[in-house]
Amino acid sequence: MPEHSPAPTPHRAIYGFAFYMLFTVLFFIYVAWAYLPVELELHSHLPDKYFAVFVPILILVGASFAFIIYPAINLSLTPNIDSISSVVDLKLVLPKETQFTSWSQLECQRPELPGHRNTPIAPPIQCNLCKITHRPKTRSPIPPLRFLDLQEVNATFYN
User: pLDDT tens digits, residue range 84-138?
Assistant: 777 777 777 777 777 777 776 776 665 555 554 555 556 677 777 777 777 777 7
Give a yes or no: residue 146 inside a domain. Answer: no
Give a yes or no: residue 142 inside a domain. Answer: no
Give a yes or no: residue 156 inside a domain. Answer: no
Q: Which residues pair with 108 in a beta bridge?
A: 134
- For residue 154, the model assigns a pLDDT of 92
CB contact at 8 A, 36 and 30: no
Give a yes or no: residue 95 inside a domain. Answer: yes
Domain span at residue 19 reads: 10-77
Examine the domain organization and report whether 48 and 99 are in the same domain. Answer: no
User: pLDDT tens digits, residue range 20-69?
Assistant: 999 999 999 999 888 888 777 766 777 888 898 999 999 999 999 999 99
